[in-house]
Structure 1
Amino acid sequence: MIKIQPHIIQEGSVQFQLGEQKGNQIIYDFPKMLIYLEAKGKLLFGKNFKIYSEDEAILYKLCIYFIRDFETCRKLKIDPNKGILLSGPVGCGKTSLMQLLPFIVPHQNQHSLIPARNITFSFNKSGFKIIEDYGNNGFYCFDDLGVETTGRHFGKDCNVMGEILLSRYDLFLKRKIRTHTTTNLNAQELESRYGIRVRSRMRELFNLIAFDKESLDKRK
C-alpha cells in the first residue's frame, strides 16, 4: 500500500517531517532529511552513529538521487535512470548509507543489500544458478564489490560478480532495472579486477559518487 504522505515518517513516538507537500509534489528539506537520517542511523546501528559534516556533500547527492529530484540530478550530472556506485576507503560509511537512504522514500521499491563475498560463497556451493538468480532479477545493492574471491564450482573458476554485472547490464537495457554497489576500489582497480568489458558496462550502469580518499574510518 502506497503511503499517502511519504515525507512524514513515524519512528516510535517521534514524527519526522522531511519536507512540505505542495499539490502532488513533495518539496524536501535537506537539513530535515539529515536529522532523520541521523536518528534512524542511531536506531539501526547504535547510539554512536552520527552524520559527519564533511560527508554532507555526498549525502546531498545521494538524497537528491533517492527522492528522484530530476531537475537537481540534471544540474549535478546524476542520471536518475542509472544506479549508484558509491566508492570510498574502508570504514567511511558506504554500507551504512546504502542501508539508510531507502528509509527516506518508504513509498519506493527498496533494494536488498547483499555482500559480494556472500554471493561468491553461494556460487561455490550452488554453481551458475547464483549468477542467474542475481543477474536476471531483483533490485540489489552489491556491497563491498571487489573484496570477494574468485568463485570456484566443481573445479571451474569464475569471476562471479563480473558475470553478474554483465547480466545486470542486459537487465538494465531490457527492463530498466537499476543496480547499486559499494566498493573500496578505484576505477583502475575495478578494471584490473573485472576487465575492460565489465568496466565499460559499469560506466553505463552507474553514477559514480565517491568519498574523498582521505575520509575518516568511522568505525575506529
Structure 2
Amino acid sequence: MDNPSNIVENGVTYSLGDFDGTTVHYDFYRILEYLEVKGKTLYGEDFKIYKKDRPLIRKLCAYFIKDQKSCKRYNMILEKGILLSGPVGCGKTSLMKLLRYIVPKKMPYEMIPSRNVVFSFNHLGFKTVQEYGDSGSFCFDDLGLEPYGRFYGKDANVMGEVLLSRYELFIHTKGRLRTYATTNLNAAELEERYGNRVRSRMRELFNLIAFDDKSSDKRK
C-alpha cells in the first residue's frame, strides 16, 4: 500500500512520515527537510528555513497535517482557517504558498493578493464580492494593505465585505470551506481598517499565528 505521506519531487521521493496502514505518523524534521527542498524549487537556491522560525512552522505543520493533539496544545481549532501575521519580509507569503504542498490532496486553497480582489471589484462591482465570498478556499495575501474599492462612484471596503461573506460561508459549510490570510497589521490595526464587526467575525474565522514583531526582513 502506498504511503500517503510520500511526495515525489524532481524524481526523488520524500517520506514525511510513517504509514501504519490507516494513519500517517508525521515527522516534523522530515517535513522541514522537504519544505526546504520545495522552497528552493519555488524560490531559488537562496531559500532556507531559519531555526528561529521552527516553533511557528511547527504550529502551522500541526494544523496542515491535522494533528489534533498538537493543535489542542496550541489552542488551534482545525475547522478555522489561518491568519498569519508578521512584519514585512518575514516569510508569511512564502510559507502559506509552501505549506499547501505537504498535504496536496487535503487542503487546497488559492493564493490571491488582496489588492487584486479590489482591482476586480473596481471593474465588476459586487460580483467580485460574491466570487471570493460565496465559494472556494482562498488565502488573501497582504490583508489590510489593499486600497479601498470604488465602483460607479461609490467607495467600498471590499475585503471587509468579502470577509463578512466568508464568515457566512464558514457557518453555512460548518468550517468545510476555510479562509486563510496573511497580514502585516496587528489586531488593533485590523479593527481600525475593517471595523469592530468584521474584526469580531475574523476571530471566529481564523486561528491567529504571529511571527515575532522583531522578525528580520529575509528579502534583504
Could you state the TM-score of these two structures normalised by the residue count of structure 2? 0.97
For this pair of structures, how many residues does the alignment match? 218
Q: Give the one of 147, 171, 174 matched to 1:173.
A: 171
Partner-residue secondary structure (3-state), 1:138: coil
The answer to whether the Cα contact below 8 Å between 1:6 and 1:107 also exists between their aligned partners in 2 is no
Partner-residue secondary structure (3-state), 2:99: helix
Matched, 1:72 2:76: no
Q: Name the residue aligned to 2:88.
A: 90
Matched residues in 2 for 1:191 and 1:28: separation? 37
TM-align CA RMSD: 1.0
Q: What letter corresponds to residue 71 of structure 2 in structure 1?
A: C
| Structure 1 unaligned blocks of 5 or more | none
Offset of 1:4 from its aligned partner? 4.4
| Structure 2 unaligned blocks of 5 or more | none
Q: What letter corresponds to residue 197 of structure 1 in structure 2?
A: R
Q: Name the residue aligned to 2:214.
A: 214
Q: Name the residue aligned to 1:60.
A: 58
Q: Name the residue aligned to 2:43.
A: 45
Offset of 1:76 from its aligned partner? 1.2
Matched residues in 2 for 1:40 and 1:21: separation? 22
Could you state the TM-score of these two structures normalised by the residue count of structure 1? 0.97
The answer to whether the Cα contact below 8 Å between 1:6 and 1:106 also exists between their aligned partners in 2 is no
The answer to whether the Cα contact below 8 Å between 1:84 and 1:207 also exists between their aligned partners in 2 is yes
Identity %: 58
Matched residues in 1 for 2:202 and 2:113: separation? 18
Matched residues in 1 for 2:107 and 2:204: separation? 21
Q: Tell me which moved more, 114-123 or 3-12.
A: 3-12
The answer to whether the Cα contact below 8 Å between 1:113 and 1:143 also exists between their aligned partners in 2 is yes
Q: Name the residue aligned to 1:141.
A: 139
Partner-residue secondary structure (3-state), 1:23: coil
